[in-house]
């Protein structure tokens, strides 16, 4: 594979069915224990019913966001890690060295996306490493390969921008200006509505 300056994920929220195959493929590839998710699928739900005369009009909506580490331009986790266990490679991939981690969980607090996750059995943090071993062999990251809807893709950020366009923020993700995520999203049609109304993560406990 040619040298890449910044790898990124693309996610098509309008096509995602919320099957969580990406989540499971990630768990399987990285041998993660119960409750540890490096890729999470958030179910965003909102809206309600309104009455017009004798008729009730449904306005409920739901969509999914599949999210892992976004390998940010300026990773808050790397800045905050007291042991320098988190490093960023020349290809933009942010890697956590679990052997240097002391399990203080400060990266979990500081990451706006909550990407680093604590593994209680090992006493250290872990996070998506872009399946760099597969990528080096010219294969796709496990989550991208597993998606039956082709809602996930990966590649060089600028190339993805050219191919798909998209945005790096969608309700309820935090402001992209915080860390500059390497992420492009094609928003679901209801995402704009969700930002203006009372909507929220419906599977908060799961994620």
Q: How many CB atoms lie within 10 A of CB 174?
A: 13
Q: Report the nearest approach of another protein to the CB of residue 62 (Å).
A: 16
Residue choice 83, 133, 159, 163 for contact with another protein (CB under 8 A): 83
Which CB sits closer to another protein, 17 or 83?
Answer: 83
DSSP state of 139: -
Token pair of 72 as six digits: 């940010």
Number of H helices and E strands in the chain, helices first, is: 7, 12
Which CB sits closer to another protein, 15 or 203?
Answer: 203
- Measured in whole angstroms, how far is the alpha carbon of residue 67 from the centre of its chain? 2
Q: Is 56 in the site for another protein (CB under 8 A)?
A: no
Token pair of 115 as six digits: 């990407």
94 close to 77: Cβ distance less than 8 angstroms? yes
Token pair of 61 as six digits: 């909506």
Q: Is 172 in the site for another protein (CB under 8 A)?
A: yes
Residue choice 51, 84, 137, 196 for contact with another protein (CB under 8 A): 84
Window 8-47: contact mask with another protein (x via CB under 8 A): ----------------------------------x-----
Window 87-106: contact mask with another protein (x via CB under 8 A): -------------xxxxxxx
Residue choice 50, 56, 89, 109 for contact with another protein (CB under 8 A): 109
**Cα–Cα separations (whole angstroms), residue 129 to 8, 25, 42, 66:** 12, 14, 20, 16
84 close to 100: Cβ distance less than 8 angstroms? yes
Q: Is 178 in the site for another protein (CB under 8 A)?
A: yes
Q: Report the nearest approach of another protein to the CB of residue 54 (Å).
A: 33
**Cα–Cα separations (whole angstroms), residue 8 to 32, 83, 142, 159:** 23, 26, 14, 10
Residue choice 22, 25, 81, 93 for contact with another protein (CB under 8 A): 81
| Contact residues: another protein, CB under 8 A | 42, 67, 76, 78-84, 100-106, 109-114, 118-120, 122-125, 171-175, 178, 200-201, 204, 207
């Amino acid at each position: 594979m040619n040298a890449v300056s910044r790898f990124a994920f693309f996610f098509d929220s309008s096509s995602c069915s919320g099957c969580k195959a990406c989540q499971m493929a990630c768990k399987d590839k990285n041998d993660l224990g119960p409750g540890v998710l490096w890729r999470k699928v958030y179910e965003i739900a909102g809206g309600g019913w309104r009455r017009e005369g004798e008729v009730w009009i449904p306005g409920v909506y739901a969509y999914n966001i599949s999210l892992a580490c976004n390998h940010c331009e300026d990773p808050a986790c790397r800045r905050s890690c007291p042991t320098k266990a988190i490093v960023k490679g020349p290809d933009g991939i942010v890697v956590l060295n679990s052997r240097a981690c002391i399990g203080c969980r400060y990266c979990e607090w500081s990451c706006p996306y909550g990407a680093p996750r604590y593994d209680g059995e090992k006493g250290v943090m872990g996070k998506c490493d872009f399946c760099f071993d597969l990528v080096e062999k010219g294969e796709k990251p496990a989550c991208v390969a597993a998606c039956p809807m082709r809602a996930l893709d990966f590649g060089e950020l600028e190339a993805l921008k050219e191919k798909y366009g998209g945005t790096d923020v969608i309700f309820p993700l935090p402001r992209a200006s915080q860390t500059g995520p390497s992420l492009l999203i094609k928003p679901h049609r209801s995402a704009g509505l969700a930002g203006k109304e009372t909507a929220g993560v419906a599977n908060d406990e799961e994620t």
